[in-house]
Each structure stands twice: as structure tokens, then as C-alpha cells.
């Protein structure tokens, strides 16, 4: 997976000063590279057989919806505040650059169904932790997380429930 690092651009001071933003878009526009990146996720799905993939807005939607569609698994969007219609369950949380809120639609998950959360990147783990709480509150059985990129120095992994599976594909 490390050989894919050359297709990830690093943008300094985006979206805020001091952040080195990992831009994965060059991988998505190259079908060979994208397939290479998605293969371990494909294996993860075979192994764990989730009922739903929940993607975190917005960059998490890309891999999550692609893998859900390919495997005929339900896709659940976890979105920023005031984006989802109808009744929602919400949670406020801190992230590497500020504060935010995530929401999920009420009744979007059949009780006790197995859910894997996907996002593009694991940094401090705040977003993923909040997303996990939402899935549990909505009645889902969270079985794990998958990230395309992990910034290991930020130790976000340590924030996540150690009983859950945590897969990250490209580690910095």
C-alpha cells in the first residue's frame, strides 16, 4: 500500500494553518490505483460480512458508497448538521481543526445489524468515535472501522473501542 503514497498530495495549511492535508483525489481518478486501494476493503467485507457500510461526510462517502454498491450492502450516510431530512440523532465532537457535529437519520438501521464505518482518514479519532456512538445509538452493532489513511502519530486508534476491528490502508 505504501507505494500509493506517491499518488497522495500533501497540501500545507489546508483547511487551516498548521494542517498538512492529505489529498487522495489523484488515486480516485486513476482506475488502476483506485482498484489497488479498494482491494483490502473488499477483503474486509468478505471476512466480516457487514449489513451496512456507514460513510462519514463527505470524503468518507467516496470509498464507503463504492464498496457498498459493489458488494450489494446498504449504505448509510453520516452527515454534518442540518443536512439530513426528518428526525435525526446527533452528536457534537472535536476534530484536529475545530469542532463539528455529526448526524444520522433515526430508524436508518435495522436493530442489531452489523455496521462498518468508513472514512478517508483517521487523525485524532474524534470524528470516528462520534460516528461510532451514533451507530450504537441508532441501534446498530458496530463491528469496526476502515480508513484509507491513518496519521499514526496522532494516535486516533487509541481512542477507538479496542474490541472493534480497526483497519487502515496507508499509514503515515
Is 17 a known active-site residue? no
95 belongs to the binding site for ligand AMP (CB under 6 A): yes
Provide, rounded to whole angstroms, the least separation between the CB of residue 122 and ligand AMP: 5
Among 4, 41, 56, 169, binds ligand AMP (CB under 6 A): 56
**Rounded CA separation 167/146 (Å):** 5
125 belongs to the binding site for ligand AMP (CB under 6 A): yes
Q: For the purposes of burial, counting CB atoms within 10 Å of the CB of 102, is it exposed (0-12), middle (13-18) or buried (19 or more)?
A: buried
* Residue count (the chain): 172
Q: Give, in order, the Cα–Cα distances in Å from 122 to each of 49, 68, 112, 158, 159.
A: 22, 20, 25, 11, 11
The answer to whether 58 touches 72, Cβ cutoff 8 Å, is no
The answer to whether 114 touches 52, Cβ cutoff 8 Å, is yes
21 belongs to the binding site for ligand AMP (CB under 6 A): yes
79 belongs to the binding site for ligand AMP (CB under 6 A): no
Of 33, 36, 96, 157, which residue is the catalytic one? 96
119 belongs to the binding site for ligand AMP (CB under 6 A): yes
Is 101 a known active-site residue? no
Of 10, 17, 57, 59, which residue is the catalytic one? 59
CB within 8 A of 15, min separation 6: which ones?
21, 97
39 belongs to the binding site for ligand AMP (CB under 6 A): no
Cβ closest to ligand AMP, residue 47 vs residue 94: 94
* Residues designated catalytic: 59, 96
Binding residues (CB under 6 A) for ligand AMP: these are: 19-22, 56, 59-60, 95-96, 119-128, 156
Amino acid at each position: 500500500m505504501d507505494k500509493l503514497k506517491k499518488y497522495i498530495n500533501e497540501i500545507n495549511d489546508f483547511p487551516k494553518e498548521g494542517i498538512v492535508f492529505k489529498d487522495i483525489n489523484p488515486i480516485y481518478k486513476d482506475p488502476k490505483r483506485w482498484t489497488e486501494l479498494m482491494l483490502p476493503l473488499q477483503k474486509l467485507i468478505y471476512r466480516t460480512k457487514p449489513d451496512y457500510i456507514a460513510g462519514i461526510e463527505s470524503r468518507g462517502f467516496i470509498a464507503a458508497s463504492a464498496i457498498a454498491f459493489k458488494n450489494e450492502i446498504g449504505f448509510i450516510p453520516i452527515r454534518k448538521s442540518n443536512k439530513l431530512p426528518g428526525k435525526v440523532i446527533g452528536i457534537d465532537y472535536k476534530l484536529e481543526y475545530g469542532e463539528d457535529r455529526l448526524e444520522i437519520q433515526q430508524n436508518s438501521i435495522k436493530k442489531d445489524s452489523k455496521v462498518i464505518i468508513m472514512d478517508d482518514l483517521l487523525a485524532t479519532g474524534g470524528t470516528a468515535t462520534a460516528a461510532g456512538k451514533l451507530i450504537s445509538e441508532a441501534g446498530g452493532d458496530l463491528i469496526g472501522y476502515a480508513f484509507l489513511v491513518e496519521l499514526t502519530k496522532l494516535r486516533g486508534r487509541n481512542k477507538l473501542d479496542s474490541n472493534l476491528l480497526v483497519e487502515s490502508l496507508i499509514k503515515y
